[in-house]
Amino acid sequence: MERGSSNGSRPCGRARPAAVMDGLQLQWVLDPQGFDMVGRFRQYADRLLRSVTAAGTGLPADA
């Protein structure tokens, strides 16, 4: 199977952030008091930026 294509088992590159957000929302619905959705999405976005930037930098500390 071609890289980045959707075969039903893994979301392709453009759909991945939406899939992550969907999963985070589900976890928040199950435990709204104990789940930090903003913090978890920030961790995901930081890892994503580190993997795609030439310098390997993530989100700024104050973002």
**Cα(first)–Cα(last) distance of the chain, in Å?**
37
Burial, 34: exposed, middle or buried (Cβ in 10 Å; 0-12, 13-18, 19+)? exposed
Classify residue 63 by its DSSP letter: -
Q: Is-contact 6 14, C-beta < 8 A?
A: no
Report the SS3 class of residue 44.
helix
Q: Is-contact 12 25, C-beta < 8 A?
A: no
| pLDDT digit string (tens) for the chain, length 63 residues | 445 555 556 666 778 888 999 999 999 999 999 999 999 999 999 998 898 888 888 888 876
- pLDDT at residue number 1: 41
Assigned token pair, 51? 């993997």
